[in-house]
Chains A and B, each alone.
Chain A
Amino acid sequence: MHEMSIALSIVEAVEERARQEGAGWISEVELLVGKLAGIEPESLQFCFSAAAAGTLAARARLAIEEPEGVGECGECGTTFPVNFYYAECPACRSLRVKILTGEEFLIQSMTIEEEEE
């Protein structure tokens, strides 16, 4: 359940920034979680609400965008979508696949509200 410690670090990061921005509270946090990032979005949603309790992010909605991965074949150079690590090249069936994208795990942005409620 690494999602819990990850949820805590997300809350810590957005809260720190929100305080710098003088926010009253945080209404939304946008995450980019690639399909190969090793994160279960559902589990993260669940942990986030627990991790955010009592913080500026307590009522924040967690919006998670899950971009698909893209792999490149080490043999023939074809690029194709990959959603797991043991993908094979659809053109030449090679398993020498280099992951180009899909491992992103970013806090994209957050929406802050001025009013303390």
Chain B
Amino acid sequence: MCDTCGCSTEGGAVLRKPGQSDYHLHVNEHEHAHGEHHSHEHGDHHHEGSGRKVLLEQDVLQKNNLLAERNRGYFEARGIFALNFLSSPGSGKTSLLEKIIPALKQRFPVAVIEGDQQTTNDADRIQALGVPVIQINTGSGCHLDALMVNRAMKELEMQDNSLLCIENVGNLVCPALFDLGEALKVVIISVTEGDDKPLKYPTIFHEADICILNKIDLLPYVEFDAAKCRENAMRVNHHLEWFELSAKTGEGLAAWQEWLEATMAQH
């Protein structure tokens, strides 16, 4: 049950805005009634005592993929460049955004969609940077999907030619499968994780376009081989763009920022 309006959400996602405790919007699919319109003739394909095989040959994720394409069309029409940030919890997605947005917003408008199971903590942090942000709370959900992003982007006051950063739910497995309509996927790992992460969770590295190794300021204190990690990531996906940085100290941030600005300019 929704704690704000008391309605039954059944684990559905909710949109929230920082500093607006009375604002919440449920991401529900429009339920169209299945009418009793069995207008076509059934008799001609009735087989006594046995079932009838119906071919579907339909992509299981078709609904999500179609909606993702609609999102993509919306972004294209408005010149919005959308990035989908993926990582396990705690690898520094929000910290990286916090670090880079103040510089980026001098160059072009930036907006953020935050995904978490609960709280507006991350959206509150982004709100403090003075850019439009909306929080998607997925409830029990382990990933964002195209419908959630579709609803969120309509609530977000985005300017044309913006950079839209979509921070997915912290999870290195499930978000890999769900296209949101983004231009590129960015996977972040930190040196406090294992350098074999790309081999243990290959799907997300295979789907990603960019890989960022974060927290490199901690390299002297942890057993993490950055070169080995890169090699492992490249084994899974040799097209990956690779960056090493520390969102905390700012080391390596310039290269990532330059790449982003150059990509935005070409976009």
A residues with a Cβ closer than 8 A to B are 1-2, 5-6, 9-10, 12-14, 16-19, 21-22, 27-28, 31, 36, 38-39, 74, 84-86, 88, 95-96, 105-114
Contacting residue for A96 out of B52, B61, B238, CB 8 A: B238
With A9-B61, A85-B205, A106-B60: A95-B53 Cβ-Cβ less than 8 Å = no
Contacting chain A: which of B75-83, B141-149, B183-191?
A: B141-149
Which A residue's beta carbon lies closest to that of B39? A22
Contacting residue for B52 out of A5, A19, A112, CB 8 A: A112
Does B58 lie at the interface of the complex (its beta carbon under 8 Å from any beta carbon of A)? yes
B residues with a Cβ closer than 8 A to A are 34, 38, 40, 42, 46, 51-64, 141-143, 145, 173-174, 176-178, 198-199, 202-203, 205-206, 232, 234-238
Shortest CB-to-CB span from A37 to chain B, Å, is: 8
Given A2-B178, A86-B235, 10 more pairs with CB closer than 8 A: A2-B174, A5-B145, A13-B60, A21-B54, A84-B202, A105-B59, A105-B60, A107-B59, A109-B57, A111-B53
- A16 to B29 alpha-carbon distance, docked (Å): 15
Interface-centre pick from A9, A38, A88, A109 (highest chain B CB count, 10 A) = A38
Chain B hits for A27, CB < 8 A: 51
Which B residue's beta carbon lies closest to that of A22? B38
Chain B hits for A88, CB < 8 A: 235
Q: A109, B199: Cβ atoms under 8 Å?
A: no
Shortest CB-to-CB span from A13 to chain B, Å, is: 6
Chain B hits for A113, CB < 8 A: 51-52
